[in-house]
Amino acid sequence: SSELTQDPAVSVALGQTVRITCQGDTLRTYYATWYQQKPGQAPVLVIYGNINRPSGIPDRFSGSSSGNTASLTITGAQAEDEADYYCNSRDSTGNHLVFGGGTKLTVL
């Protein structure tokens, strides 16, 4: 079982704001990373270090963290944002990595 817990599915109306969460005790200590994965494609990094957005990622994607919960927020969701989103961080030992189970985002 994963040490990081995500809701399996979330939906959002086109143009609205959605928050995808990731819970785990290790998030109190270690930074969260977020990946977007579309069908048949490799994951793409969208947020690292809880809040940092790589170049080329639209600024509608933002990250935050509080306590044992990291969040990915999409402000003004677009149809192309429909994808699976995975959080990732270190495990309780600090020596290994772990992914959350993933959240399937549907844009209505």
Partner 1 sequence: QVQLQESGPGLVKPSETLSLTCTVSGGSISSYYWSWVRQPPGKGLEWIGYMYYSGTPSYNPSLKSRVTISVDTSKIQFSLTLSSVTAADTAVYYCAGLTASPYYYFDLWGRGTLVTVSS
Q: Which residues bind partner 1 (CB under 8 A)?
A: 2, 30-31, 33, 35, 37, 42-45, 48-49, 52, 54, 84, 86, 88-90, 95-102
Residues across the chain: 108
CB nearer to partner 1: give 60 or 91. Answer: 91
Nearer to partner 1, 48 or 64 (CB): 48
- Three-state DSSP state, 63: strand
Residue with Cβ nearer partner 1 (23 or 48):
48
Distances (CA, A) of 68 to 1, 19, 24, 44, 89: 17, 15, 5, 24, 12
